[in-house]
């Protein structure tokens, strides 16, 4: 069921993309490659009471620019995408109500430039997130953001704004600060705090290394079926890792990533366990039905294509 939905939405977005490209073929402006396809696989093994446990995740995302124009230094675009995340637990039995969890999302991002220096960015992402044993409106969660991007120079820009998310455990509202900084010809820093940060060093024309931190804000949450009282499962991981990226022909690249989960936690909550307005109220006050805490290593491999 979920595979058919993903394939159908992908075909629709690709058709719209081709029509949009044909309409813009006569434009002289060269547009940045903001369209992308990303896929990765991660594996996080650890031991609990001498028992092998692992978390495996498969992620995929396609983003297509439906509108894309550059004029007088002002860049406007409308980006639509679909994403999939699959999470599989091994060695936990039925402790968390299921061992397979899925999410399918549709993302919409719009940028409006007021000048070459200032731009407003808004995004909205509805997501179906559950064990997919039964599907209803209760499986839906929503997130969005409003950001003001300020370009100080060709090498430095920053963003200020706020992000909102309606999760199974409650509502999240946090300020967001982003940075894109070409520190030198070889060293760059990109960050979206308090979500993630990435420092990259260019070894050669095609090779890059760096350090990446993912703070796992809120983690991934999934609703269980009605047979499990519509409780919800939450996986939280806070990871720092080293990565290697190699650019093949064109805009195609592969990457390898190895690091450590400093804050890895699996929880099962009753559906009525909620808090109002994170981080003003502490999410750790929730009382889980089941809980597993164990830090450990994590490895990841992925591919990326920009267009």
Domain, as residue range, for 162: 2-306
**In the chain, pLDDT over 90 holds for what percent of residues?**
77
Q: For residue range 151-198, what is the model confidence (pLDDT) as tens digits? A: 999 999 999 999 999 999 999 999 999 999 999 999 999 999 999 999
Bridge partners, residue 166, by sequence? 142, 171
Where is 231: in which H helix or E strand? none
Q: Residue 122's domain is classified under what CATH number?
A: 2.40.160
For residues 76 and 66, what is the distance between their CA atoms, to the nearest angstrom?
A: 11
Q: For residue range 115-154, what is the model confidence (pLDDT) as tens digits? A: 999 999 999 999 999 999 999 999 999 999 999 999 999 9
For residue 156, CA distances in Å to 67, 175, 204 come to: 25, 20, 22
Q: Which residues contact 103 (CB under 8 A, 6 or more apart)?
A: 83, 84, 85, 127, 128, 129, 130, 220, 222
Lowest mean pLDDT among 28-32, 57-61, 161-165, 224-228: 28-32
Average pLDDT, the chain: 89
Write down the pTM of the prediction.
0.85
19 pLDDT band, cuts 50/70/90, is very low
31 pLDDT band, cuts 50/70/90, is low
User: Number of folded domains in the chain?
Assistant: 1
For residues 47 and 51, what is the distance between their CA atoms, to the nearest angstrom?
A: 5
Q: Which residues contact 46 (CB under 8 A, 6 or more apart)?
A: 53, 54, 264, 294, 295, 296, 297
Residue 247 has pLDDT above 80, yes or no: yes
Residue 249 has pLDDT above 90, yes or no: no
Residue 20 has pLDDT above 70, yes or no: no
Residue listed under structure tokens 């950001």: 147
Q: Which residues contact 13 (CB under 8 A, 6 or more apart)?
A: 62, 64, 80, 81, 82
């Amino acid at each position: 069921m979920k595979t058919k939905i993903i394939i159908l939405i992908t075909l629709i977005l690709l058709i719209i993309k081709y029509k949009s490209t044909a309409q813009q073929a006569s434009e002289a402006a060269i547009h940045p490659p903001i369209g992308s396809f990303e896929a990765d696989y991660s594996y996080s093994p650890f031991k609990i009471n001498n028992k092998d446990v692992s978390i495996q995740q498969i992620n995929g995302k396609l983003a297509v620019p439906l509108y894309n124009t550059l004029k007088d230094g002002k860049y406007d675009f409308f980006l639509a995408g679909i994403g999939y995340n699959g999470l599989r637990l091994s060695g936990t039995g039925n402790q968390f109500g299921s061992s397979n969890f899925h999410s399918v999302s549709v993302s919409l991002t719009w940028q409006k430039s007021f000048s070459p220096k200032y731009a407003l960015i808004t995004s909205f992402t509805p997501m179906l997130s559950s064990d997919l044993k039964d599907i209803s409106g209760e499986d839906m969660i929503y997130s969005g953001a409003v950001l003001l991007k300020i370009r100080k120079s060709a090498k430095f820009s920053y963003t200020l704004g706020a992000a909102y998310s309606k999760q199974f455990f409650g509502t999240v509202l946090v300020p967001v600060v982003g940075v894109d900084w070409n520190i030198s010809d070889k060293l760059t820093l990109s960050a979206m705090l308090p979500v993630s940060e990435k420092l990259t060093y260019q070894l050669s024309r095609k090779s890059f290394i760096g350090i990446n931190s993912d703070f796992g804000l809120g983690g991934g949450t999934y609703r269980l079926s009605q047979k499990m009282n519509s409780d919800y499962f939450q996986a939280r991981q806070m990871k720092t890792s080293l990565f290697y990226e190699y650019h093949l022909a064109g805009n195609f690249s592969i990457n390898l990533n190895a690091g450590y989960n400093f804050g890895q936690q699996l929880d099962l909550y009753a559906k009525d366990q909620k808090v109002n307005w994170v981080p003003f109220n502490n999410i750790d006050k929730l009382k889980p039905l089941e809980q597993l805490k164990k830090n450990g290593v994590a490895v990841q491999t992925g591919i990326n294509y920009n267009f």
